[in-house]
Structures are given as C-alpha cells and as structure tokens.
Structure 1
Amino acid sequence: MSRNLAVLATTLALGVAPAIAQDGPLVTADWLQQNLNDPNIRIFEVSVDTGVYERGHIPGAVNLAWHTDLVDTVRRDIVSSEGLEAILREAGVTEDTTVVLYGDNNNWFAAWGAWVFDIHGIHDVKLLDGGRKLWEAEGLPLDTATPEYAASEIDLTEEAAPLRARLADVLEVVEGGADVSLVDIRGPKEYSGEIFAPEGVQELSIRAGHIPGAVNFPWGGAVNEDGTFKTADELKAAFAAIGIDGSKPIITYCRIGERSSHTWFVLSRILGYDVRNYDGSWTEYGNAVGVPIENPTGTVWGRI
C-alpha cells in the first residue's frame, strides 16, 4: 500500500478527515482549526512569553521554549541537529509531517523557530497567519493539557542549510564590496543610534548605530493590525521602496537575530528572495573590535 493510501486508511479509520494541504508558507486559522486532529500535522507554539502556553494553547500544540529548546544553553548558538532531533522525535514528527508554528507578538519567535527548523533540514514548516493574536481574537479553542505523542524516528541532516550569515560574511559586504543588501529590521531609534535597545530590553552592545550600508525596515511593518502578514504584493512594494527587490542576495539582522528572522521569513518564504539571517546581529557586530559602524545620532557610550 502506498504511503498516501495508508494515511487515508488510517485517518478514515480514526474518523478524521484527511487534511487538504494549503500551499505556501502560511496556513489560516480556519484551516488549522479544521485539521487539528490530522495525525500528519504537528503544531508547535514558540512565544516570546514562555509562560503563556500553560495558560492556554491551541489543542495538541507542543511548547517550544525559545531560550532553552531552540538554543545551545552553554554557548551562543542555535540548537544542534541532535538536540532538535530529540525534540522532534518526542513530538512524533516524521519526515512526512507538516509542521505548523505559531506564537505571540505577531509570530516573532515562531518565525525564528521556522528559521532554525529550516537550517536543520525541516523545510515543510508553515506559520499560522495571525499567530496567537488572531486565534484568540476569533475565540478559537484553547487547551491547557500537555499533549503526548508516540515517539517517532527522524534523522536530521548534519549539514546545515545555508541560511545563516556570519560576521565574516557581513564584513565581506561592508569592507570587501560583496554585492549583498543589508536590511536592519530594528526600530528607527535603534538604527540611528539614539537608543541601544528597545525600552525594557537589556542593552548588549557597547556602541549604538547600524552596519554601514544597511537600509532600515522595522520588522512590524510586514504585518497587519490583526497580526496577519500583508499580501505578497504589498510586501514586495514596501521593500522595493527601500531598494530591496530580490535582484541580489540579502542579509537581515537585528539585535540578537530573532526579529530579523521574521523579516527573513517574509523575504525568503513569502517573496522567494535569496536571504540569510545574521543572528550574531548588532550584539556581535556592535561589540566587535575594529569594525566600522554608522551612528547618525552620534552617541558614544550612551551619550551624545
């Protein structure tokens, strides 16, 4: 029996209607609600507020704590392929599973999770359009139970996908003349050097400003008021207005690489551009010795 027929037989036997796949990198809240019981879909929540999951989450969703599950807790790095492999196996994810990620704050860390998954070879990852914000606004069901799934077997590739930029790659643009666009997705005050970090967020860099040649596109400009992404045409026009049209490779960055992964998702997954995310971001670049910066505000050690 072919895999498709086997899946159909299993879902019918369980009384579950097989999912109709949604093309593209996004799924709608209506589609996800209709397919909550599909065994070939696994939902993960990746929220900035790591405690919100316990207060209620999409039924069947597995919680991923961004600061422990998706990073190396000893050195500054993303989770290893072995570490992610263990998480996916415990969640019952196989090579044929469609992974749906969602989170709070307009899918900020959910997009970062998609970037981490993609690096490790899990490419069939979709975001819930509108994320937790839209799901709650529409009064869709939430659950407090922690789901349990039969363990699966999945082997991740040891060779990471080329979706990550390093400091050397950025310097090759700034000092070596590489024909790559740099997109700083922080707020205008961070970009100009007026502030080091958003209010209430820890300052991690010695210098303020931005990488020379980078254009500014605050990441929140890619979403609507209800948390859904703007249309591809709207996004394409907005980025074209600042000279980003996909004609050459792009590197996105922010403070620690998480907000910039949201823009990475927009540019690479929605618009199909060639994009890498620099997760060292301003925390690394702004602290590196001997590298050039631009600081229109003129702040030095927090003073003008």
Structure 2
Amino acid sequence: MRSGLDCIHPEQPPSGTDLRQEDATPDGPNLTEYALPEPLRLRTTSAAHSGACPVLRTSAFLLTIAAGLLAPTGLSAAPDPAAKPPKENAAKPNAAQDSPLVSTEWLEKNLDAKNLRIVEVSVEPGVFERGHVPGAQNVVWHTDLVETVSRDIAGPEKFTALARRLGIDRDTTVVLYGDNNNWFAAWGAWVLAQYGLVDNVKLLDGGRKKWEAEKRPLDTRTAEVAPSAFTAQAPSGKLRARFADVLAVAKRERDEHILDIRSPDEFSGKVIAPPGIQELAIRAGHIPGSVNIPWAKAVNPDGTLKSKEELKTLYAAAGIDGSKPIITSCRIGERSSHSWFVLSRILGYDARNYDGSWTEYGNAVGVPVVNLAGTVWGGK
C-alpha cells in the first residue's frame, strides 16, 4: 500500500473506445481525443516548524500588559509577524467562491477544506482509477445519477443514499469535474440542482483536462469521508422540461427558445446520431423552432469556459438573450446539461434541460419534425 499521495505518471492514452464520441466536428473542440499529458509529478510540501519560543523578560512582559490596558477600546492588537497565516479559505471554501466555477489553483489550495467535497463524473471508464484529484470521490453517471430500470434521474431514495455516501449536506461545497470538458460533471450539477443543491455546487473550470495539463497532483486512493445525514425530498420540476413542453413550443403554442446543442449534422438530419451510439431515434432532424449552437462552442481550447461576455455574444447571435425562457436539448439530455449550466448558472437566464431530448421526441408518433427533406409532419 502506498503512503501519502500516490504520484501518477500516465504515458499511454486510456484503452477502450469512448462510448460518447459525439462532438468531433469542426464546430467545436475535438473532445473525443483523450491525450494525457507528460508524466505528472506530485508536489508535496512539508509544514514549517517554528523554533524555540524566546524567553520573555519580565519588564517587557509587564510593559506589554500595560500597553494593552491603556490602549483605546476597539483597537485590536497588532498581528504577530512570526505567526503562520492560516491556509487561504481552507475552513470556509464557499466564502471565496460565489461563482459557480472554481479555478484549478483555488481547488489545489483548498484540497483540505473541512466542508468541501470533490466529485468526479467522467465518461471514460477507468479514468478515475488511474488517478484523480486528491480527495475526490467517483460518481458513475449511468448508474449513480439515474434509475437503471426506468428512464429517469435518480429518485429521492437513491439520491439520499448517494449524497450520504459522498458526505454531502445542504451546506457542503461540492466541486464537480470530469473529462470531456466537464460534459458529465455538468449533468451531475443539473441532477444535484433538482434536489436543492445549487449555490454550493461548482464546476472545476477546465476539468480534468486543465488539471492534468498543469501537472497538478493526482491520487489513486479512495477518499474516506464521514457520511452525511442528507435526506432528499421530491426533485424540483423547475429545471426540467418535459415532452409536452417542447411539443407546445414546436406547435407555437408557447413562446420559448429551444436550444439544440447537438452537432450540425445531427441537427440537420444528415445523421440520427454519431457513429457507435446505441440510443437512437426513428426520425432524424430537429424540433421545429429550435436553434443550433453546439455545446462545445462555449469552451476554450484549454477546457475552460469562455468569458461571460463571450458567452452572451455567442447565444445572442442566435436570438437567445435571456428575454424569454430557454429549453436546452440534445440526444439524451447530457450534453444539453452543459449548456443549461452555462445559461442558468453563468449567465443567469431562465433555462431548463430537456433530458428526454431527441431520443424521446424523435421516437414520438405524429409530432412535427424538421429535417433535410423538410417538415415530416406539419404543425401550425
């Protein structure tokens, strides 16, 4: 058994095929190529030890007391220049991070914060086991965050068990990160938000990609945390769009934006889904009235999100400026949760995620669909 933080030196790309190769298009970064950086070197620091305490002379001691008694009330004593400053924001991580994003630098400084939980939600199997942010716990999106029989997010009983295992309470700061530019980490944030965990839930800006590129420490040990007493109530429906909602927009019965964040080929109907994908629809195309901005357009080459002003400009070009509600949609609802996070948490727009997405809508009978051949079934 290794002691301390295990240093990982990845030299080969992970084996196996990415089961979600959906975004290898010219319209955004190629997120299907997973190239690990050069060997990562774990940096360790040793605590500074103070020397022997100097003996105080009696006269100096008495003068100090006298000065304290004569000092005006309301003035605090001058800080001891030899005293070791506390670790920055280590006790209260939320105090320094009102933003829904945390930087890699901030997270490394706060790895030992008492009320902080770090959670990885990645696509590539085995990537967590090969090395993760020290103290992180692993969440598998297709088993931990969903009901495995019915198609739904994790119900209250299952989510309660998950939150308790992770040591998450209502006041816990949770930092989520993952591979593929935080694609499934954002899905995790959306699920947590439906159970009331919103303001204290953050994304690591840049995710695994930036953390590894900067050669920050990785660990292979399983984090040990005290279980919480969290109890989930019924999930809120405010952040989730349903089939009836998008159908009403398609029929022009509701005035809302539908943002389809799939690749242009999926949106146009040239393909139903990217190669190798199992979850398919009977029809290809998109929901009438929707606009197409691939989710990866919100991401910089280093994996971080673009600036707030850049994001506003990106969506405003398609008419999405926050003036009316927005529904994000993709194929199975995961990619669109990334755009939901950007629109809702970063820009503050009224946004919901349609997790049924095209595999629900494209399989429905008698609904309006737009594809390369035009409208298959006409609405109003």
TM-score, length basis structure 1: 0.91
Alignment of 1:195-274 (within 5 A): 195-274=271-350
| Structure 2: unaligned runs, 5 residues or longer | 1-84
Q: Does 1:155 align with 2:231?
A: yes
- Of the three residues 121, 139, 142, the one matched with 1:67 is 142
The amino acid that maps onto 2:100 is P
Counterpart position of 2:131: 56
Looking at structure 2, the residues matched to 273 and 169 of structure 1 have their Cα atoms a distance apart, in angstroms, of 18
Shift of 1:84: 1.4
- Tell me, yes or no, if the aligned pair for 1:210 and 1:294 is still in contact at 8 Å: yes
Q: Does 1:110 align with 2:185?
A: yes
Looking at structure 2, the residues matched to 141 and 92 of structure 1 have their Cα atoms a distance apart, in angstroms, of 22
| Structure 1: unaligned runs, 5 residues or longer | 1-11
- Tell me, yes or no, if the aligned pair for 2:270 and 2:284 is still in contact at 8 Å: yes
Larger radius of gyration, structure 1 or 2?
2
- Of the three residues 209, 228, 232, the one matched with 1:133 is 209
Secondary structure of the structure 2 residue equivalent to 1:68 = helix
Looking at structure 2, the residues matched to 17 and 111 of structure 1 have their Cα atoms a distance apart, in angstroms, of 25
Deviations for 1:188-237, whole angstroms, at most 9, x for unmatched residues? Answer: 00000001111232251011000001000000000000000000000000
Counterpart position of 2:151: 76
Looking at structure 2, the residues matched to 13 and 181 of structure 1 have their Cα atoms a distance apart, in angstroms, of 48
Task: Number of aligned residue pairs: give it.
Answer: 289
Secondary structure of the structure 1 residue equivalent to 2:328 = strand
Looking at structure 2, the residues matched to 252 and 297 of structure 1 have their Cα atoms a distance apart, in angstroms, of 24
- Tell me, yes or no, if the aligned pair for 1:121 and 1:161 is still in contact at 8 Å: no
Deviations for 1:40-95, whole angstroms, at most 9, x for unmatched residues? Answer: 01000000113110010001101000010000011000101221111111222122
Distance change (3 Å), C-alpha of 1:17 and 1:246: closer
Shift of 1:176: 4.6
Deviations for 1:90-134, whole angstroms, at most 9, x for unmatched residues? Answer: 222122110110000000000000000001111121000000000
Deviations for 1:153-175, whole angstroms, at most 9, x for unmatched residues? Answer: 11223242410000001111112
Q: Does 1:143 align with 2:219?
A: yes
Looking at structure 2, the residues matched to 199 and 233 of structure 1 have their Cα atoms a distance apart, in angstroms, of 34
**What is the RMSD computed on CA atoms of the aligned residues?**
2.0
Counterpart position of 1:8: none
- Tell me, yes or no, if the aligned pair for 2:368 and 2:375 is still in contact at 8 Å: no
The amino acid that maps onto 2:296 is G
The amino acid that maps onto 2:160 is E
Looking at structure 2, the residues matched to 21 and 83 of structure 1 have their Cα atoms a distance apart, in angstroms, of 31
Looking at structure 2, the residues matched to 16 and 279 of structure 1 have their Cα atoms a distance apart, in angstroms, of 36
Q: Does 1:97 align with 2:97?
A: no
Looking at structure 1, the residues matched to 235 and 283 of structure 2 have their Cα atoms a distance apart, in angstroms, of 34
Secondary structure of the structure 2 residue equivalent to 1:24 = coil
Looking at structure 2, the residues matched to 16 and 184 of structure 1 have their Cα atoms a distance apart, in angstroms, of 39
Looking at structure 2, the residues matched to 261 and 188 of structure 1 have their Cα atoms a distance apart, in angstroms, of 18
The amino acid that maps onto 2:278 is Q
Secondary structure of the structure 2 residue equivalent to 1:142 = coil
- Aligned sequence identity (%): 64
Secondary structure of the structure 1 residue equivalent to 2:282 = coil
Secondary structure of the structure 2 residue equivalent to 1:54 = helix
Looking at structure 2, the residues matched to 161 and 299 of structure 1 have their Cα atoms a distance apart, in angstroms, of 31
Secondary structure of the structure 2 residue equivalent to 1:127 = strand
- Tell me, yes or no, if the aligned pair for 1:196 and 1:203 is still in contact at 8 Å: no
Secondary structure of the structure 2 residue equivalent to 1:251 = strand
Counterpart position of 2:372: 296
- Tell me, yes or no, if the aligned pair for 1:193 and 1:299 is still in contact at 8 Å: no
The amino acid that maps onto 2:238 is P
The amino acid that maps onto 2:110 is N
Looking at structure 1, the residues matched to 90 and 313 of structure 2 have their Cα atoms a distance apart, in angstroms, of 39
Secondary structure of the structure 1 residue equivalent to 2:188 = helix
- Of the three residues 106, 113, 121, the one matched with 1:46 is 121
Counterpart position of 2:19: none
The amino acid that maps onto 1:74 is V
Secondary structure of the structure 1 residue equivalent to 2:146 = coil
